[in-house]
Structure 1
Amino acid sequence: MDLFGNSNDWADKLQPIIKNYSGRKHPLEYQNLYQLLVMVVLSAQDSDANINTIAPLLFDAYPNMESLAASTADALIPYISKVRNFGTKTNWLTEIAKTIQKDSNIPLTMDGLTALKGIGRKSANVIMREAKMPAVGIIADLHVIRVAPRIGLITETKDGIKAEKQLIQVLPQEIWGEIGMAISFLGREICRPKPKCIECPIKEICLYYSKNK
């Protein structure tokens, strides 16, 4: 699986994208941890752009976890009805809010976050990265799942958990916190479904590029 050497080799080879994207804020346009958590839950199987569009009215109505905890599913639905699977997500958010009650109670550990409805490892990794918590995993969103096999980092899979496990095996922990979002940003901007290889800063170490140039 490690086609270009050991984990330290990978850390060196991936430095250009880590340098380019390190510390860049996630595309979800959140203002605080509460908004981030809600938007991450809503963004599952939907686009960040769509969630950004509905967020202002949603957070005007529900500015914090306490206001969300006092709501009902019926009252919340009109604010998120344009989100994919809004019915299920309404139930997730109302249950999360009733569990947490206050913004200050939002957990920032993998176990604490994944114990909440609608938050899996990918979402928890995003929240922890944005909150600048030490990484215990690697973000493996749909962009990472597409791009990482192209580079030669992992074998192809459509399963985010399997992708993350492979990435954890091949990459040193000191880059876990940034490499997931770095690959994701690369996938959003350059390594699209139809990749713009000529613009890629890591094309020379990329398996796909070496086969297709």
Structure 2
Amino acid sequence: MNLFEQTNWPEAFKPLVEKYKGKQHPLHYGNIYQLLVMVVLSAQDNDAHINKIAPDFFKKYPDMKALAKANTAELTEALSSVRFHTNKIAWLQDIASEIKEDKNIPTTLKELTALKGVGRKSANVIMREAGVQAEGIVVDLHVVRVAPRLGITKGKNADKIEKDLMAALPQSMWADAGMAISFLGREICRPTNPKHSECVMNTVCEYCQAHKS
């Protein structure tokens, strides 16, 4: 059976979405300003590292107004351990000078992706956490790996995978589906030795069915 073509994905995804619905995002943010800064910093770095440096950073720069006043030297001192910090500092300065205050942070895909350093994945994360209607699906590195395993997509890159997920699932599921797949990838569907017996998707997953012992 070709699961990609024949599986009722909205029904199949219900247990997965339910399992991770409301689970705290891996970035430990306190508000949308902090989340915006942290998603910019976490690109090509890792969430645990950004979580570690975030408290001290936000003590110094508690809001967009404070960030807009910071100079490059100050930000470099605070963010020197972040990968590609030079580019990210420039992006944050550009964002802060444009937005100016927390209340001006946009929550639409078009406006968010217009900001320096914010791609579709980051925009979808921000929109999900802000509780606004989803316009796309979060596709991070875990989703890129896990979604093709499930059989819901044959895509190899984030754009194609997101399009396939959006086509297979109703918009009401978009906000939670991407992060649910991401959490599944972090906890159960690991790159090696995935825990098939613990997976709520094991009856519909092509990879699981193909690797049954």
TM range (shorter): over 0.9
Cα deviations by residue, 1:154-208 (Å, 9 ceiling, x for unpaired): 1141x22222112112222121111001001000100111112121111111000
Cα deviations by residue, 1:106-143 (Å, 9 ceiling, x for unpaired): 00111110110000110000000000010110000000
**Aligned-partner Cα distance in 2 for 1:92–1:2:** 42
2:178 paired residue among 177, 180, 183: 180
1:66 aligns with 2:81: no
Residue in 1 that maps onto 2:41: 42
> Bigger shift: 81-90 or 162-171?
162-171
Cα deviations by residue, 1:83-124 (Å, 9 ceiling, x for unpaired): 111111010001100110000000011111011000011000
**Aligned-partner Cα distance in 1 for 2:152–2:45:** 26
**Aligned-partner Cα distance in 1 for 2:196–2:49:** 28
The amino acid across from 1:103 in the alignment is: D
**Aligned-partner Cα distance in 1 for 2:76–2:202:** 45
Structure 1: 5+ residue stretches without partners: none
Residue in 2 that maps onto 1:155: 154
Q: Which aligned segments of 4 or more residues in structure 1 are displaced greater than 3 angstroms?
A: none
Residue in 1 that maps onto 2:4: 3
**Aligned-partner Cα distance in 1 for 2:104–2:4:** 43
1:169 paired residue among 167, 170, 187: 167
1:200 aligns with 2:199: yes
The amino acid across from 1:151 in the alignment is: L
Paired residues of 1:25 and 1:130 also in contact (CA < 8 A): no
Number of aligned residue pairs: give it.
Answer: 210
**Aligned-partner Cα distance in 1 for 2:151–2:161:** 12
1:89 aligns with 2:104: no
Structure 2: 5+ residue stretches without partners: none
Same amino acid, percent of matched pairs: 52
The two structures have a TM-score, normalised by structure 2, of 0.95
Query: Which structure 2 residues correspond to residues 89-108 of structure 1 after superposition, within 5 A?
Result: 89-108=88-107
Note the aligned Cα RMSD (angstroms): 1.3
**Aligned-partner Cα distance in 1 for 2:66–2:91:** 15
Residue in 2 that maps onto 1:146: 145
Residue in 1 that maps onto 2:189: 191
